[in-house]
Amino acid sequence: MMLAATALAAWPARAQGWPERPIRLVVPFPAGSSPDLIARMLALPLGAALGQNLVVDNRPGAGGEIGTGAVAHAQADGYSLLLTIQGPLVTAPLLNRHLPYDPAKDLQPIGLVATSPNLLVIDPKLGVASLADFLQLARSKPRQLNYGSVGNGSAAHLVMEAFMARAGIALTHVPYPGFPQVVNAMLAGQVQACFMVPGAAMGQVRAGKLLAIGVTSLERMAALPDLATMAELGFAGFEATSWQALLAPTRTPAAIVDRLARELQTILRSDAMRDRLQALYFTAASSSPEGLARLMATERLRWAGVIKAAGVEPE
């Protein structure tokens, strides 16, 4: 008991001296993915604000579950942080009975970082130029066209499942470690469609190698004003926003979480960061730790309904 009391008494002092060495920022997706790009964009100003380097550590695999689990079980000392999309936080517990972590119990929210709608992107080699034409083709070839995602339970997976249910089509799901791999698979003709964030798609869209045929925001994107919304194309109310957030292991000292949250919000309010995110078709979207926790809970309820309606079975 005396040893435990001594350790607890020393903990606030260690938190006050934090950070004393570089901080590991884990991204559970490959280099070049949207979370990786945003993590590297955030690492420099956040490291400068904290007075230590943030070292981005890519831990891809299993739809983001490997890297997320690594942080969930890391020492809660402020030297391991996680930047990830919603899949490993919201839908993974709904789809993996053997998930090696519980996001609600093992991870401490720090704040939302960025949001983006999704684009429905198809392979131009299909020979179709509109959503209506793509749906006609898909209906004539049930399960013969493939769609890519960044893992079972990812937004790219579940948004497509929800869309297929609305559209009355059946495509075959092919998961990949990250969007760079999905894009490469589309360019190689291995998959024919995907919902993905604009930052992952627009380079190839502008080069004419992929075709964007709809966006999942309720209003047109200012950066892509010529691209119709799914609602305009006949799917009223169809909306799907991807988001990225910063978290730490549960039991990370409150003083460290509070400082990280404050620094993050300051950075995301800066014009420089907003402009850099907008260049990747993301919107800066800071929140408090409590706000991110509420978002995670709300999104879990929402996507549980989609999973049930689409008949997606847990693994």
Which pLDDT score, from 0 to 100, does residue 14 have? 56
> Considering the domain boundaries, does residue 1 fall inside one?
no
Q: Are residues 106 and 245 in the same domain?
A: yes
The CATH code of the domain that includes 203 is 3.40.190.10
Confidence of residue 39 (pLDDT cuts 50, 70, 90): very high
Predicted confidence (pLDDT) at residue 40 exceeds the cutoff of 60: yes
Which pLDDT score, from 0 to 100, does residue 120 have? 98
Predicted confidence (pLDDT) at residue 13 exceeds the cutoff of 60: no
Query: Average pLDDT over the chain, rounded to whole?
Result: 93
Q: Are residues 149 and 159 in the same domain?
A: yes
Q: Are residues 190 and 264 in the same domain?
A: no
Q: Are residues 101 and 132 in the same domain?
A: no
Domain membership of residue 268 as a residue range: 23-115+241-310
> Considering the domain boundaries, does residue 229 fall inside one?
no
Confidence of residue 10 (pLDDT cuts 50, 70, 90): very low
Which pLDDT score, from 0 to 100, does residue 271 have? 97
Q: Are residues 100 and 132 in the same domain?
A: no
Predicted confidence (pLDDT) at residue 12 exceeds the cutoff of 80: no
> Considering the domain boundaries, does residue 220 fall inside one?
no
The CATH code of the domain that includes 255 is 3.40.190.150
> Considering the domain boundaries, does residue 315 fall inside one?
no
Give tens-digit pLDDT for 83-107.
999 999 999 999 998 999 999 999 9
Which pLDDT score, from 0 to 100, does residue 205 have? 97
Residue 148: both structure tokens together: 């890519």
**Mean pLDDT throughout 125-137?**
97
Q: Are residues 91 and 128 in the same domain?
A: no
Number of compact structural domains in the chain: 2
> Considering the domain boundaries, does residue 135 fall inside one?
yes
> Considering the domain boundaries, does residue 184 fall inside one?
yes
Percent of the chain past pLDDT 70, that is, above it, reads 95
Q: Are residues 129 and 204 in the same domain?
A: yes
> Considering the domain boundaries, does residue 15 fall inside one?
no
Q: Are residues 83 and 169 in the same domain?
A: no
Which pLDDT score, from 0 to 100, does residue 11 have? 47
> Considering the domain boundaries, does residue 17 fall inside one?
no
**Mean pLDDT throughout 237-249?**
95
Predicted confidence (pLDDT) at residue 24 exceeds the cutoff of 90: yes
